[in-house]
Structure 1
Amino acid sequence: MIEEKVVQKIGILGAMREEITPILELFGVDFEEISLGGNVFHKGVYNDKEIVVAYSKIGKVHSTLTTTSMILAFGVQKVLFSGVAGSLIKDLKINDLLVAQQLVQHDVDLSAFDHPLGFIPESAIFIETSKDLNALAKKIANEQNITLKEGIIASGDQFVHSKERKEFLTSEFKASAVEMEGASVAFVCQKFGVPCCVLRSISDNADEKADISFDAFLEKSAKTSAKFLKSMVDEL
């Protein structure tokens, strides 16, 4: 048996099973399942690339654990996050794609100590993603005639579903979308020096009807993000 030569290792993350199911189907390779730290990692070889796919479960703690495991245990050299998010601005509609230039933890509040919202000592408020990976995403979007927006994504351990919270996130952080994992994934990648891209497809408008919209559009939006992510892997 001839072993396939692996050129690079790429980690692919989602928060929910529904977000990685279309990813596994699109790549169409035989994945080995490896259990570690309460997660199942799907490892396979695709076009000379070793890809490791997992869903972290919802929230910043779970996504921190899974991202750290991918980097330290599997040695991934890039991390791509694919999933859904709630729109905070009128320009982002259901099923639109957004790539994060920066991310922020919107639920961090140390204002009692005169710190700005989102700030933790020895850390920046806004977490940067990879300019190279984001440039690749824009290139692919242009080639495929897909509208890909760029902006700030706010992450926190709450499902945002109110006009008041939306207005706070846009006024305080200038955020375009909100979700529950991206900032922690980007933070871990930044600290370990691993390039990261956070790609989100809009599933709801983060308003009072967000729970209904989320359930209705989760599958379609997850597939949109997954298909675009595969195009990125094809060019890495």
Structure 2
Amino acid sequence: MRILMIEDHARFAKFVKDGLEKEGFTVDTVETAAGGQDAMAAVQYDAIILDLGLPDCDGIQLLREWRERGDETPVLILTARDAIGDRVRGLNSGGDDYLLKPFAMEELVARIRALLRRPGGVLGLVMQAGNVSFDTTAREVRVNDRTIPVPRRELGVLEHLMRRTGRVVPKDVLEDKIYGFGKEVSSNSVEVHVSRLRKRLAGAGANISVHTLRGVGYLLSEDSTMAPH
């Protein structure tokens, strides 16, 4: 699961990021509302953790803008504002949950998982393509109902491609998905992970293929009708 955290206190953001990544989540952090908008334009997140006291925009205003344009990504408001009025405004503006600082990491993890279990709150907890299933909560891949081990980076590639089965995913979008928004990576890093993923799936008997479209990106298909990669 990919989470965006919009929080202007870098040390606190790192604390949350480290805690969530120990639980199997992938977390991108930005410090401003503008950075959050850029990240959301580049990556499809499963959930957002939003602070209200951002330096360039009030978090409530940002949340309202998302909901007004039809974005339904689950949002957990994480803030020190403890007044009842702030909580009501946050939830009425489109927030899905409201957690006060300080908090226990176990509670934050439980609340995020609860958000992701809600109907419509995530794009399918278990995705299926051909004989391959991907449990996005357990981070488990199965081929013909047999679990196969897949490293974290390859999981990121597979998840993003399965969400868009039959559609082209640009290389730079995959880079942001598996490394984080705006990170510098080597030019062939995605190709390496895609190649390893192909071999892993083929070795397990998967009947899906990852195709390389030179100069365009990658496409996952459930059949062999496309040209060889």
TM-score relative to the length of structure 2: 0.33
Higher RCO (C-alpha 8 Å, min separation 6): 1
More strand by share: 1
Q: Which structure has the bigger radius of gyration?
A: 2
